[in-house]
Copies of this chain bind each other. A is one copy, B any other.
Amino acid sequence: MDYELSPRERAWRDEVRGFIAEHVDERLVDETRLRGNEGRGPEAQRFLDALRARGWDRIAFPVESGGLGKTAVEQWLFIDQIETAGAPMLPLTFTSVAPTILRIGTDQQRQEWLPRIQRGEVDFALGYSESEAGTDLASLRTRANLDGDHWVVNGQKMWNTMAHTATHNWLAVRTEPDAPKHKGISMIIVPMDAPGVSVQPIQVWPGLRTNAVFFDNVRVPRDYLMGERGLGFYYAAMALNFERLSIGSAGMARRIFDALVRDVRERVVDGQPLRENPWVRDRLARLRVELDAARLLALEVAIRLDKGEVPAAASSMAKACVSELAQRVADTGCEILGLDGQLHAEEPGAPVKGRLQWLYRLSPMLAFGGGTNEVQRDIIGFMGYGLPRK
């Protein structure tokens, strides 16, 4: 693999591959694709149970906390293999929330939440964005006021994906209204079945569901506020750091591209094999070059994480690059498949299982979501190259 893996890394990759060969089949891949954000189906639950049986849900945990102590490169190998196989990713509950609780929670909080997460009793949605606070997280308005031993939460979250299937919400709320914008935010856990929580579905273009979630005088115990008051903005950044490995991964684009290539190999149009068409050959070759390039940006993120860096510029590069590349894959792919490429996943015989037109609809979100690519490029300039802010 890339830049020659170490023997330990190679063994790990082979172990992951073996696991995938054993546990990922077409039924799982189809279920994953067709379910979208509608929660785990039986196949995904089986897969997750198998992962858990190996302790791989704690892949990002240090050994002393019962984890596998995998390096970032090893985690990236894991993500890359899962994405390439089209299996469901590990939920953010395991990869983002749990490692954050591990680091910021009190002993009591860790004892309360981590075992429940591990047993699969708790599943989080991540509630950061609001309609007026998208990329500009620090402007959020949902607030929590202390009332005796309880926090009372009021406000509204947008793009609260999985809120309708999760048991709990990992919520960024304003607890210190008088502090400067960045310093007034805390992270709090809100059970989705708490009185006053209501979920309103939002359907988005690629056929996925997300949610607006309303909090109307929702009371949660005082120690559901995680870590310290007013540090929520930094905790969210920490959680983001755990996500960096997957944000910039080209795995999904590559999987769809590879499937497209396989389709083109067999496709005949107007009596001619499509693979002989010079335009098709050129466009696919160029995309392959870009995919090869993008992949290594993700690897750099992993390597920098292993060095103890916060690879802000590197992960911004990977994110901006991969999201825009996904759009080109979709765009060209649709044109290559022609009329057949319009077919939805549900239509039998849809080439590449309808993935190209789906990616065409999904790809804008990859670029504006998770911090718009404008913000990513600002970060590259500021953090990567030390450009002045004013």
Contacts and interface: CB of A to CB of B under 8 A. Distances in A.
Interface of A: 278-279, 281-282
Contacts of A278: 278-279, 281-282
Contacts of A282: 278-279, 282
A268 to B, nearest CB: 19
A192 to B, nearest CB: 41
Q: How many copies does the complex hold?
A: 2
A281 B278 CA distance: 10
Q: Give the dominant DSSP class at A's interface.
A: helix
Contacts of A281: 278
A278 B279 CA distance: 8
For the complex of A and B, 3 pairs with smallest distance between CB atoms: A278-B278, A282-B282, A279-B282
Contacts of A279: 278, 282
A297 to B, nearest CB: 24
Nearest to A285: B279
A278 B278 CA distance: 6
Nearest to A282: B282
Nearest to A277: B278
6 contacts: A278-B278, A278-B279, A278-B281, A278-B282, A279-B282, A282-B282
A106 B281 CA distance: 66
A47 to B, nearest CB: 43
A362 to B, nearest CB: 27
Nearest to A279: B282
Nearest to A281: B278
A282 B281 CA distance: 11
A282 B279 CA distance: 7
Nearest to A278: B278
A174 to B, nearest CB: 28
A330 B278 CA distance: 23
A279 B281 CA distance: 10
A160 to B, nearest CB: 32
A279 to B, nearest CB: 6
A183 to B, nearest CB: 27
A281 B282 CA distance: 11
A57 to B, nearest CB: 49
A278 B281 CA distance: 10
A278 to B, nearest CB: 3
A284 to B, nearest CB: 13
Nearest to A283: B282
A281 B281 CA distance: 13
A282 B278 CA distance: 9
A5 to B, nearest CB: 35
A201 to B, nearest CB: 34
A180 to B, nearest CB: 23
A279 B278 CA distance: 8
A110 to B, nearest CB: 49
A280 to B, nearest CB: 10
